[in-house]
């Protein structure tokens, strides 16, 4: 079924592979106010070794302990009085993760609007902290198991990257429903946003051309 959570094995891979494969999948958050969902269009990988931008780089602390736990769990941290969410990857003891930076909203737009104030719909979940606000993801969800399909999980989506569409990942899904459905997409790649170390590492991946990707927009039309 479309909204079934991805299995643990999905996350049990290196963070770059998981990051690329997360594009086009759907993030679901069920809260008291209702379900909010969207297609993942932008992610960043944070590596367990040699990555000075990774929160785990200097070893475990109370904040980052979820990263050192099993894969498929949610790592939520706060920064600048906001929240960002990650999926933990690889295996317990290897602290890597994928930051989810943006989704294209699919469901729960009214709930998102209520949470995001006067932001335009294009900006509801365009950026990691905006995404967390739109979906009510806070530090309370840190450590939550993403494979159980409760409160928050990730499922197969409607999009296929050209690589995933060839069937090599095994976690893909075909369907319809959002603005990019059935078109496939190209994966863009760039350095990560906002990091002050390891700046040249091209570990950010995004759905090429999606207006829901953060950063400067190429499209200048009003939203």
Partner DNA sequence: ACGGGGATCGGCT
Partner DNA sequence: GCCGATCCCCGTA
Q: How far is the CB of 193 from DNA (least distance, A)?
A: 5
Residues whose CB falls within 8 Å of the CB of residue 96, separated by 6 or more in sequence, listed in order? 14, 15, 45, 46, 47, 48, 54, 56, 67, 88, 89, 90
Asked if 134 and 125 touch (Cβ cutoff 8 Å), the reply is yes
Residues whose CB falls within 8 Å of the CB of residue 175, separated by 6 or more in sequence, listed in order? 2, 157, 158, 181
Residues whose CB falls within 8 Å of the CB of residue 81, separated by 6 or more in sequence, listed in order? none
Asked if 14 and 156 touch (Cβ cutoff 8 Å), the reply is no
Q: How far is the CB of 100 from DNA (least distance, A)?
A: 9
Q: How far is the CB of 134 from DNA (least distance, A)?
A: 10
Query: Would you tell me which residues interact with DNA (CB under 7 A)?
Result: 44, 46, 53-56, 58, 61-64, 67, 75, 77-82, 84, 86, 97, 99, 116, 118-119, 123, 127-131, 139, 192-197, 214, 216, 220-222
Of 35 and 193, which has the nearer Cβ to DNA? 193
Of 122 and 181, which has the nearer Cβ to DNA? 122
Closest by Cα among 95, 89, 94, 103 to 26? 103
Of 39 and 96, which has the nearer Cβ to DNA? 96
Of 39 and 158, which has the nearer Cβ to DNA? 39
Of 3 and 193, which has the nearer Cβ to DNA? 193
Of 162 and 219, which has the nearer Cβ to DNA? 219
Task: Kindly provide the residue ranges of all beta strands, DSSP E only, lying in the chain, ordered along the sequence.
Answer: 26-31, 34-46, 74-79, 82-89, 96-107, 152-155, 187-190, 204-207
Can you tell me the distance from the alpha carbon of 181 to that of 37, in angstroms, rounded to the nearest whole number? 15
């Amino acid at each position: 079924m479309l909204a079934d959570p991805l299995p643990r094995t999905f996350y049990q891979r290196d963070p770059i592979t998981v990051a690329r494969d997360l594009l086009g999948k759907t993030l679901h958050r069920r809260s008291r106010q209702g379900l909010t969902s969207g297609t993942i269009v932008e992610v960043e990988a944070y590596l367990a070794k040699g990555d000075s931008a990774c929160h785990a780089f200097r070893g475990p602390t109370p904040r980052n302990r979820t990263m050192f736990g099993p894969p498929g769990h949610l790592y939520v941290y706060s920064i600048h009085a906001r929240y960002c969410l990650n999926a933990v990857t690889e295996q317990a003891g290897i602290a890597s993760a994928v930051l989810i930076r943006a989704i294209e909203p699919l469901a729960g737009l009214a709930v998102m609007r209520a949470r995001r104030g006067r932001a335009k719909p294009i900006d509801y979940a365009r950026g990691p902290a905006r995404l967390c606000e739109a979906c009510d993801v806070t530090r309370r969800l840190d450590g939550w198991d993403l494979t159980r399909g409760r409160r928050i999980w990730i499922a197969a989506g409607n999009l296929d990257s050209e690589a995933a569409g060839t069937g090599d990942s095994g976690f893909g899904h075909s369907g319809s429903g959002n603005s990019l459905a059935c078109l496939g997409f190209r994966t863009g790649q760039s350095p990560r946003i906002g990091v002050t170390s390891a700046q040249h590492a091209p570990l950010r991946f995004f759905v090429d051309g999606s207006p829901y990707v953060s950063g400067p927009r190429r499209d200048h039309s009003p939203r």
